[in-house]
Amino acid sequence: MLDHIGLTVSDHAASRGFYDAVLTAIGIDRVLEVTAEQTGAHAHTGYGKDGKPFFWIGGGATVSGPIHAAFTVESRAHVDAFHAAGLAAGGTDNGAPGLRPYYHPDYYGAFILDPDGNNIEAVCHQPA
């Protein structure tokens, strides 16, 4: 079981704006800010629920390369809201909301590329 995951971003402020928009749309809040002064290196932003961050972004000298991260959501409406928020926040469409029955009959997901090209997904596994 993972406790948290983090990714290095090329522009912390721009990525924070993007993730604030897409994660708020699915009920995940910005819960912690760690400044560059505190770490002695780079700023980090933690997103999560109930005050516990489980998804982090942080500035860094080198972005490690695109990753795929999927967030489980409770409804298909959340998937739709995530996708719309991602486009409005400057993300790139990488798969409109819809069924992906090749995974399983109720797999409803959407994909957005963040400012660094990471493939961020929201997925609902519940029937309509």
Residue 28 is part of a domain; what is its CATH number? Answer: 3.10.180.10
pLDDT for residue 49: 95
Q: Can you read off the two tokens belonging to residue 46?
A: 């933690």
* Number of structural domains the chain divides into: 1
Q: Is the pTM of this model over 0.85?
A: yes
Altogether, the residues listed in the chain come to a count of 128
Query: DSSP class of residue 11?
Result: -
Across the chain, mean pLDDT equals 94
Residues whose CB is less than 8 angstroms from the CB of residue 101 and which lie 6 or more positions away in sequence, other chains included: 107
Q: Which domain holds residue 16?
A: 5-58+67-124
Q: What is the pLDDT along the chain (128 residues), one digit of tens a residue?
A: 688 999 999 999 999 999 999 999 999 999 999 998 998 888 999 999 999 999 999 987 678 778 999 999 999 999 999 999 999 999 999 999 999 999 999 999 999 999 999 999 999 999 99
In sequence order, which ranges of the chain are alpha helices (DSSP H)?
Answer: 12-24, 36-39, 76-88
Q: Which of 43, 59, 27 is nearest to 124 (CA)?
A: 27
